[in-house]
């Protein structure tokens, strides 16, 4: 009797009709990727093991409802699990911190470790203990993140519509609406007062007089408007802070502030 016939009879004795159906459903899985030999080069028998527990993986895929919940066939789910295991071994990701698995791998991994014998055989054959960290954070971790988020939101008015830090990161969905601008009314008299500069003008005769000008006005012109100076604009020059004030220049151009003293000096012909 050929080995193929013996193997077929052995399978028929050890499996049920339901098991055979699972195996037949998984036959559409792609052939073993030759890249697995490279990934598992340091694990003798690792590549062979990945194909040896087809039935266990098929059951895990069925229990995790891969087809109905995750929209993938059992064969696709099995192949993805194989790829995950091979990468974890190759990258020495024994603590489960280097790879971020998909949600379906969370479900299948859970089903696989329920079969403790298969899980133990996998670790023995691969020569390492593999741990898995779920893709979704724990409740405690989520609460901690949300607590930080709530504290941060009080300083960010634009984040008011973002209720959950775990929402979609899509740029289209993450756009926050600009809140309407609030119109603030200011006292115009206070604005005018803030724009004024109080200075002291000393004329030819040494008389001092206080005068107010606007910060954005021309100092020389404003002083000439005082009147009663006994001279015209062409007859005098104004000096402040050791420099002559130029026509058409503003107070800030000459560093004139409240309390500055401007001296009027007759122009020399």
What pLDDT digit, counting tens, does each position of 202-248 carry?
Answer: 777 777 878 777 777 777 777 777 665 555 666 677 788 777 877 77
pLDDT band, residue 179 (cuts 50/70/90): low
- Cβ-contact 195, 214 below 8 angstroms: yes
Q: What is the pLDDT of residue 23?
A: 35
Q: What do you get for the CA distance between the two ends of the chain, in Å?
A: 133
Q: In what order do the strands lie in the sheet containing 196-202?
A: 208-214, 196-202, 261-266, 236-240, 243-244
119 and 132 Cβ atoms separated by less than 8 Å: no
pLDDT digits (tens, 9 = 90+) for 187-199: 666 656 567 777 7
pLDDT at 12: 38
Band (178; pLDDT cuts 50, 70, 90): low
Question: Looking at per-residue confidence, does 269 or 4 come out higher?
Answer: 269
Query: Of 57-71, 135-149, 242-256, which range is least confident?
Result: 135-149
The pLDDT of residue 148: 60
The predicted-structure confidence for 123-176, as pLDDT tens digits, reads as follows 888 888 888 776 554 556 556 656 665 665 565 555 445 555 445 455 554 555
Q: What is the pLDDT of residue 78?
A: 80
- Percent of the chain scored above 90 by pLDDT? 0
Mean pLDDT score of the chain, rounded to an integer?
A: 68
User: Residue 20 has what pLDDT?
Assistant: 33
Instruction: Let me know: does 122 contact 159? Beta carbons within 8 Å.
Output: no
- The total of other beta-carbon atoms located within 10 Å of residue 131's CB is 10
Q: Whole-angstrom Cα distance, residue 128 to residue 223?
A: 91
Q: What is d(CA 263, CA 242) in angstroms, rounded to the nearest whole number?
A: 10
Q: Which CATH number fits domain 190-266: 3.30.70.640, 1.10.260.40, 3.40.190.10, 3.10.20.90?
A: 3.10.20.90
Is this structure's pTM higher than 0.95?
no
Q: Where in the chain is the domain with CATH 3.10.20.90?
A: 190-266
The distance of Cα 260 from the centroid of its chain, to the nearest Å, equals 52
User: Which position has the higher pLDDT, 53 or 101?
Assistant: 101
More confident residue, 163 or 46: 46
Q: How far is CA 15 from CA 3, 10, 12, 48, in A?
A: 18, 9, 6, 21
**DSSP 8-class letter at 218:** B
Number of H helices, E strands in the chain: 13, 5
């Amino acid at each position: 009797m050929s080995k193929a016939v013996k193997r077929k009879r052995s399978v028929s004795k050890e499996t049920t009709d339901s098991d055979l159906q699972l195996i037949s459903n998984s036959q559409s899985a792609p052939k073993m990727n030759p890249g697995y030999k490279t990934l598992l080069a340091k694990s003798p028998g690792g590549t062979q093991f990945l194909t040896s527990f087809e039935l266990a993986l098929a059951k895990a895929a069925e229990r995790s409802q891969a087809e109905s919940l995750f929209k993938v066939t059992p064969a696709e789910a099995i192949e993805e699990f194989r790829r995950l295991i091979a990468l974890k071994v190759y990258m020495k990701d024994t603590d489960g911190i280097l790879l971020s698995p998909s949600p379906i791998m969370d479900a299948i991994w859970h089903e696989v470790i329920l079969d403790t014998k298969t899980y133990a055989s996998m670790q023995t054959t691969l020569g390492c203990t593999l741990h898995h960290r779920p893709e979704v954070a724990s409740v405690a971790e989520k609460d901690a993140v949300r607590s930080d988020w709530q504290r941060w939101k009080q300083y960010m008015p634009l984040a008011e519509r973002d209720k959950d830090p775990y929402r979609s990161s899509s740029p289209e969905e993450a756009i926050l609406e600009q809140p309407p601008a609030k119109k603030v009314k200011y006292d115009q008299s206070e604005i005018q007062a803030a724009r004024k500069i109080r200075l002291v003008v000393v004329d030819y005769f040494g008389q001092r007089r206080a005068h107010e000008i606007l910060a954005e006005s021309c100092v020389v012109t404003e002083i000439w408007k005082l009147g009663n100076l006994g001279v015209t604009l062409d007859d005098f020059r104004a000096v402040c802070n050791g420099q002559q004030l130029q026509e058409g220049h503003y107070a800030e151009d000459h560093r004139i502030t409240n309390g500055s003293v401007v001296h009027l000096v007759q122009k020399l012909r």
